[in-house]
Structure 1
Amino acid sequence: MPRKVDRVARQGDILDAAVRVFARKGFAATRIEDVAAEAGIAKGSVYLYFDSRDALLTGAFELYARRTEHVLHDLGDGTGLQRLERLVRGTVDMLAAQPDYARVLLDVWASKPPLDLAALYHEYRAAIGKLLTQAAADGELRAGIDERHAAVIVGAIEGCLVQTLVDPEVSLRDLATPLVRLCVEGIRK
């Protein structure tokens, strides 16, 4: 009797293998054969789930986007700035725990056609903007701080991520506290 394959699990295994290979070799240098070998399956099996390398990159990005949604929605209770601190630390923890996915972001940023990063950034800015609005209403913020600063906070986190990706001497986990001091305590009244 033929073996029954869990399609969702197999697709996830292939995506995980693709991310590992993309992180090691870069998207441009990766072939479907490389992904298949990493996943321990035949090249044709990859095509049962993904029709191209671009589809693998899109799948990896979508999985990353789902993980970021968990960070944005699991902030718990508290003041706006307490929740903002959880968001900053949660984002850093998620990225540091998934270094291959973080490295693949370089390929996502350079992808052609580009993936919908604008939607992901919009979601992050909107979540941070709401937290800043809540903090302002609670009287926690310095004068002049508003939802526009959400883009600056996202930029600070991403800037730290880029540095860790290009310079192995920089640890993203070690930057969590400085990010909180700058992006949370730095705007506190």
Structure 2
Amino acid sequence: MAKRVDPAARRDMILKAAVRMFARQGFAATRVEDIAEEAGVAKGSVYLHFDGRDALLTAAFEEYRSHARAVVHQARTGPGDGLERLARLVRSVLDMVVAEPELARILIDLWAAGRQGAASGVDVPALYREYRTAIAELLAAAEAEGVCRAGVGAGHAAVVVGAVEGLLVQWIVDPTLPVAELTGPLLDVCVEGLRREGAE
């Protein structure tokens, strides 16, 4: 008797194979046949779960975005002052990306190829806007609490996102960069650098 495979497990297996292939070869160079081979299934099995490459890319992006939204929600609603919650957000984003480097590579591939809106449901600029908005809120809270320098705002939030993104781009281009060890320096610049003098 043939072994029955749970459809949800099969879909997840195919999606993980797609993420590996997109990260390894780039989205443009990856065919559905490549994904099927990586997943160890027939090409038709891929189409049972996804309409094609764009649907796989959208699903991968939505999985990443779901994790990112959970991290942002935790920072917005968690304990501590605004700077403490910002520090937690920065740490969590780095931890999330280091744990799933293939998804980070796909995002960079999309960014570099200028495909931000080309595939249905893949809106990388919206993801950046969500991060910037959350960080600006945390900085506003920190200023109101008296722990952050006066005058911080949306521009500072964009710089924090840029610092995190820049670090991740360096790591993807040069995997020898010990990105997991750079959380401290990143927090020194992006969080402690905004602390009001004398505030602890």
Task: Give the TM-score, by structure 2 length.
Answer: 0.88
Equivalent residue number for residue 132 of structure 1: 139
Amino acid in structure 1 at the alignment position of 2:155: R
Contact 2:107–2:124 under 8 Å retained in 1: no
Equivalent residue number for residue 177 of structure 2: 170
Q: Aligned partners of 1:157 and 1:41: how far apart in 2? A: 37
Q: Aligned partners of 1:73 and 1:9: how far apart in 2? A: 28
Say whether 1:34 aligns with 2:34. yes
What's the secondary structure of 2:51's corresponding residue?
Answer: coil
Aligned residues: 189
Amino acid in structure 1 at the alignment position of 2:109: D
Please list every run of at least 4 consecutive aligned residues from structure 1 whose deviation after the TM superposition is greater than 4 angstroms: 1-5
**Residue of 104, 107, 123 corresponding to 1:105:** 107
Equivalent residue number for residue 90 of structure 2: 88
Contact 1:57–1:108 under 8 Å retained in 2: no
For residues 96-118 of structure 1, what are the alpha-carbon distances to aligned partners after superposition, in whole Å with 9 as ceiling and x for unaligned?
A: 11111111112222226162112
Q: Aligned partners of 1:108 and 1:14: how far apart in 2? A: 20
For residues 151-184 of structure 1, what are the alpha-carbon distances to aligned partners after superposition, in whole Å with 9 as ceiling and x for unaligned?
A: 1111110011101010122122122111101010
Question: Aligned ranges for residues 12-161 of structure 1 at < 5 Å?
Answer: 12-75=12-75, 76-109=78-111, 110=113, 111=115, 113=118, 115-161=122-168
Contact 1:132–1:146 under 8 Å retained in 2: yes
RMSD across aligned C-alpha pairs, in angstroms? 1.7
Percent identity for Structure 1 against Structure 2: 57
Post-superposition offset of 1:8: 2.8
Task: Give the TM-score, by structure 1 length.
Answer: 0.93
Amino acid in structure 2 at the alignment position of 1:78: G
Q: Give the unaligned 5+ runs of structure 1.
A: none
What's the secondary structure of 2:49's corresponding residue?
Answer: coil
Post-superposition offset of 1:3: 6.0
What's the secondary structure of 2:154's corresponding residue?
Answer: coil
Q: Aligned partners of 2:40 and 2:135: how far apart in 1? A: 41
